[in-house]
Structures are given as structure tokens and as C-alpha cells.
Amino acid sequence: MKITKICCIGAGYVGGPTMAVIAQKCPQIEVTVVDLNEERIAAWNDENIDNIPIYEPGLGKIVAEGRGRNLFFSTDVEKAIDEAQIIFISVNTPTKTYGKGKGMAADLKYIELCARQIASVAKDNKIVVEKSTLPVRTAEAIKSILDHTGNGVQFQILSNPEFLAEGTAVQDLLNPDRILIGGDPSEEGQKAIQALVGVYSNWVTADKILTTNVWSSELSKLTANAFLAQRISSINAMSELCEKTGADVNEVAKAIGMDSRIGPKFLKASVGFGGSCFQKDILNLVYIAKSYGLNEVADYWEQVIIMNDHQKRRFSNNIVQTLYNTVSDKKICFLGWAFKKDTNDTRESAAIYVADDLINEHAKIAVYDPKVSRKKVLADLDCLETRTVSANAASVVSFDDPYEACANAHAVAVLTEWDEFIQYDWQKIYDAMQKPAFVFDGRNILDGPTLEAIGFVYQGIGS
């Protein structure tokens, strides 16, 4: 099958960048990204490329190159579904906040709505691709909905999970470790797989394109995120032991990372992992294990989440204890609010929970992040529902200038590893702060001895 038109339902952190790269690498294919959120689509179509809704290094240039040529952003979902041969589903799959599986299972209502809309609109055969991270055997539910339309249209369901790291998403798309495509073992299923392989083959070599059955593909995504999060929680667990014993977690990480069986990646001790995937996917994995009666498996993976939550609480508790057991009416400057550098994504950011703890202790929080607005900071805190909207607004001030944010602060807490923080004039910051001036480096990116020579009381993670 020669693919000439692709549509993606969902213009978020996965759908937007993925489709932009496909459009760039496949100029012969018309790619349309659709979303019911009019504000988001308007931002993707904004003439000022700096205003697109997602910040990723290099993404703006790729969007500008393809937009209007073979890359389109639209709210006309039905038209895009009708015309496309391949339909990617890339909508949100949050953790359920109600009913059975509350707090663990993935909420698949948006996936089901997509499937029903595709079923009602499609007039000819379609390939439907799961791009969102989904529980194992979700494809079965999608196929059941699509196969009972009664209009004779044939659908093939593929699983094509994303393995993107926010902040490096463009490079991950341009030079992927692997492309994973799962499909049905039938002849028609294999044809559908090869059709999608043909799209990726425009820039990805054959040895990096892996094909499996649907269930293996779905589970591989959850497993990959669980393994990565496990490494972070493991080194963070050791960081606490390092602090008690006099070891340095950075030295320990370097030593074990040189073991070829372990490797150095994801061994950076920090205040904890965030983002939309790790916690959600592990909780989903826990729920699936429990649903099959695999309680020991569930307990094992749940401990990764427990350790991550503990690390965030430990960080905020340490700030309170170090500041003479009270932060009431003290100004604490947060450098960074995004969950990691080079992204404006704040989902499950450690900064949210550390701020929440400190506000409960009546601290005044000043925030500077180069890509996150005050509106977003307050929205993140409001979602926790631990206090009123007005109480959050009274406790948090956001700044456009880092030096203003730090002025008269009792302490600076580094919550995101933005490169620019390393380049600041820390003498200037010290001079403008209350004394003694504290730095709590939740990302271990600053030079502690240099800061101590200036006069700061410096505390990193795990040393």
C-alpha cells in the first residue's frame, strides 16, 4: 500500500513532534494533526514559531519547514479521519481518578472516544495506530469497537509506542534507538505493519525497525519506562545512604556506571523523576499485575514510586530542618519548575510537590523558569487541591528574571537542571540574599566548593 495521507488525533507532546518529523522526512505524504482544543491548534498555526505550544530544541524549525506544505494542524477531526489511510491515536491516557482502578489504572475514555469517532466516520479501510502509551490488550478493545460498525470497513490495529525523552524528542525522532511496530500475525495484519514500516524507512534503517505482535509492543513501552524509572529510584535510594555514611553519590554512580553491565545512563541522583510517563506507566503496570493476581510483581514495581515520593518529601523536609526548623514567611527561590530541562512540560514535576510541602509550612515561594509561565505554576498547584486557589496565588510569585527571583531569599532550591543556572553570577545572587544564604541543589548541577567559597551553605543530593 502506498501511503499518501496520514492523520494524527492529538496535538500534544507526542503527536505534534512525531508528525512534524514524519512530514519533514516524508514530503510525499500529507500529514494532518487534529485536536478539539482550538487554542492548542491555533498555537501550532501561529506565525511566530516561538509560540507553538510545545518547547523542544529544534522543533520550531521543523514545524516551520513543513507547515502549509505537507504538515497541517486542524480542528476538523472528521475530515482528517475520512481522508487518511493511517490514523495515529495520540491522545492523553491519564491515571484514573475515579472508580475501579482509581489511582493506578489508565483512563481509556479518550481512546474509546477516538475509536468510536473513527468507526462512525470511516468509509474505507484504515490502519489505526496506537501511539499513546496503553495497557496491554487495549488494541483488542479498539478493534472490537471498530469491527462492529456494520458498514463493512476493515480496520487493522497496530501498536507503535513512542520512546521519546522530553528535551531531546526531536533528536530521538530523527535518530531513534528503535522503531517498534506490533500488529496482527494475519496476512492483512502483516501488510499493515509493512505499510507503516514503509513510512519510517524514509529515514530509519531496517535494522532499527522491530516488528512484534501487538501485545509485546504494548507491554514493551510500559516495561521500558519502568526500567528507566527503577534506575532513578535506585540511585536516589543510595543517595540517602551516602549522606549518612559520608560517601559521595556522584562518585558511587561513576564507579558503577563504568561497569559495562550497568552503564552510566539514568544514574544521576536528584530530587526525583517527573514527567507524564514514568509514574503513570508504573502505576498502570502495578494495576495490571494485581489484576492477574501477581501481587509480588506489583509490590516490586510499586516500590519504585514509593521511593520517588520519599525523595521529594526528603528534599522539602531537609530545607525546613536546615533553615532552623521553620520556613514560615521565609522566601524560598525555586530555580526551575519544568520536570526537566529543555521542555516546558511540568507534569508530575518534583517542584510542584516540594512547593506544596513548603507552602504548608507557610513559606513564600519565588519561581523562575525560562519556559514555564506563572499561570502554569499556579495551575499545577491548584490541581493538587490541597488549598484554595487564592491561597496558592498568595504564596507563589513568578519572576521573568532569576536575579529578581533570588533577591532577599533565604534559600535557593534548584529543581530543574537548566544549563543557564550554571552560568549565573552566583556572587551577585549571594550579595542580594538573606544571610546565611542556602543553596539546595536538587539536581546536583552546581559546583558546591565554589559556592561555599562565596559564602553559601551548599547542600547537594547524596553527599
> What are the grid coordinates assigned to 330, written together?
521565609
Taking alpha carbons only, the member of 183, 176, 137 closest to residue 160 is 183
Picking from 210-224, 342-356, 410-424, which range would have the lowest pLDDT averaged per residue?
210-224
347 in a known ligand binding site: yes
Domain extents in the chain: 5-204, 278-460
User: Has 340 been labeled as part of a binding site?
Assistant: yes
Report the distance separating Cα 420 and Cα 297, nearest Å: 41
Quote the DSSP letter at residue 144. H
**Is the pLDDT confidence value at 155 over 70?**
yes
pLDDT at 136: 66
- Tell whether 269 is in a known binding site: yes
Q: What would the grid cell of residue 409 be?
A: 531569599
Q: Are 319 and 278 in contact (CB under 8 A)?
A: no
For 380, residues 6+ apart whose C-beta sits below 8 A from its C-beta are 337, 346, 349, 352
Decide if pLDDT at 140 tops 90.
no
pLDDT > 90? residue 36: yes
pLDDT, position 230:
97
pLDDT given for residue 148 in this prediction: 77
Any known ligand binding at 91?
yes
101 marked among binding-site residues: no
For residue 135, what pLDDT band results from cuts at 50, 70 and 90?
low
Q: Tell me, what's the pLDDT at 260?
A: 97
Predicted confidence (pLDDT) per residue in 109-131, tens digit? 888 899 999 999 999 999 999 99
The answer, yes or no, to whether residue 75 has pLDDT greater than 90, is yes
Q: Where are the alpha helices (DSSP H) in 48-137?
A: 59-66, 77-83, 109-121
Three-state SS at 170: helix
User: How far apart are alpha carbons 366 and 407 in whole angstroms?
Assistant: 10
| C-alpha cell belonging to residue 261 | 553491565
pLDDT of the residue at 310: 98
Q: Is 221 annotated as a binding residue?
A: yes
Q: Is 308 in contact with 281 (CB distance < 8 Å)?
A: no
Say what angle helices 138-146 and 214-245 make with each other, to 10 degrees: 150
Mean pLDDT taken over the chain: 95
User: Which CATH number does the domain 278-460 belong to among 3.40.50.720, 3.40.1440.60, 1.10.3720.10, 3.60.10.10?
Assistant: 3.40.50.720
- 264 annotated among ligand-binding-site residues: no
Fold: same for 5-204 and 278-460: yes
150 confidence band (pLDDT: 50, 70, 90)? low
Selected residue with higher pLDDT from 376 and 148: 376
Q: Give the model's pLDDT for residue 152.
A: 80
Longest dimension (CA), the chain: 75
| 242 assigned ligand-binding residue | no
Q: Is 174 exposed, middle or buried (0-12, 13-18, 19+ CB in 10 A)?
A: middle
The grid coordinates of residue 53 equal: 505550544
Active-site residues: which are they?
Answer: 277
- Cis peptide before 436, with omega less than 30 degrees from 0? yes
Q: Which is nearest to 40 in space by CA: 27, 48, 28, 52?
A: 52
Quick one: pLDDT at residue 141?
A: 81
Distance CA 342, CA 369 (A): 11
Instruction: Please name the fold of domain 5-204.
Output: Rossmann fold (3.40.50)
**Mean pLDDT of the 73-100 span:** 93
**Amino acid 95: pLDDT:** 83
71, 19 in Cβ contact below 8 A? Answer: yes
Give the span between the Cα atoms of 269 and 461, in whole angstroms: 6
- Average pLDDT on 284-296 reads 94
Category of 295 on φ-ψ map: left (φ > 0), alpha (ψ -120 to 50) or beta: alpha
If pLDDT is split at 50, 70 and 90, which confidence band does 414 have? very high
Sheet hosting strand 457-459, strand order edge to edge: 396-398, 364-368, 331-335, 411-414, 438-441, 457-459
Q: Which residues of 28-38 are buried (b: 16+ CB within 10 A; e: fewer)?
A: ebbbbbbbeee
Task: Find the mean pLDDT for residues 98-107.
Answer: 85
pLDDT number for residue 145: 84
Residue 133 annotated as lining a ligand binding site: yes
Is 10 annotated in some ligand binding site? yes
Q: How far apart are CA 446 and CA 316, in angstroms?
A: 19
The whole-number pLDDT of residue 144 equals 84
Q: Read off the pTM.
A: 0.91
pLDDT at position 452 over 70? yes
Burial 57-83 (b: 16+ CB within 10 A, else e): ebbbebbebbbeebbbbbeebeebbbe
Mean pLDDT score, 434-448: 98
pLDDT above 90 covers a percentage of the chain that reads: 88
